[in-house]
Chains A and B, each alone.
Chain A
Amino acid sequence: EAGVTQFPSHSVIEKGQTVTLRCDPISGHDNLYWYRRVMGKEIKFLLHFVKESKQDESGMPNNRFLAERTGGTYSTLKVQPAELEDSGVYFCASSRYLAYGNEQFFGPGTRLTVL
């Protein structure tokens, strides 16, 4: 079974540009999550999809971030316009069931650097 994949693995952009990150969850996993780790800080929750619906987007930092999951398969996270403080590693995770204690499987992350 293929794991969670993310693209690109690295992205270096200038302040004010737009970047779109992609996540392909494990096949059959309805739940998809985005997380972010800023240097020196803990991994933080951004949002959670159940199929194509946003279940919880309370962790999204501001309206420069837009996540979509059309068709309930892969998801994109767009940052527009990017700011310096957006630099970090963006992880995507997926899980099959929405249940307490259900394991989330993480992708390798996208390392975003905003110059």
Chain B
Amino acid sequence: RKEVEQDPGPFNVPEGATVAFNCTYSNSASQSFFWYRQDCRKEPKLLMSVYSSGNEDGRFTAQLNRASQYISLLIRDSKLSDSATYLCVVTHANNLFFGTGTRLTVIP
């Protein structure tokens, strides 16, 4: 079983739309949770950390449900520049475990 499961997409949405990504993780001992963004042929970059209380950064909202081992990312008012692959990442033993990523394309 994979450490982190994500729907690979692709998600094609119009500008201004709201889109939500989900992922699940298998190890209940996972300690930290993140969403990374990866542009085509570039390195992953941290988008935001995810906390049980939920957290928001501008148009981005992340949620963590430890009981269900479920993480979500909501993007409101999508911009063309949001087009990328979004990677769900969890840590345990100080190492990162990645999902395969969800590809988002925002269409004009």
Contacts and interface: CB of A to CB of B under 8 A. Distances in A.
Nearest to B8: A40
A1 interface: no
A42 B94 contact: no
A109 B45 CA distance: 12
Nearest to A91: B43
Interface string A54-89: 011001000000000000000000000000000000
Interface stretch (B55-63, B74-82, B95-103): B95-103
Q: In the complex, which range does the number of interface residues on chain B fall in?
A: 20 to 34
A93 to B, nearest CB: 8
A76 to B, nearest CB: 19
B95 A41 contact: no
30 contacts: A4-B43, A33-B95, A33-B96, A35-B98, A41-B100, A42-B2, A42-B4, A42-B99, A42-B100, A42-B101, A43-B87, A43-B98, A44-B98, A45-B95, A45-B96, A55-B94, A56-B93, A59-B95, A91-B43, A93-B96, A100-B94, A103-B46, A104-B96, A106-B43, A106-B44, A106-B45, A107-B43, A108-B42, A108-B43, A109-B43
Interface of B: 2, 4, 31-32, 42-46, 49, 87, 91, 93-101
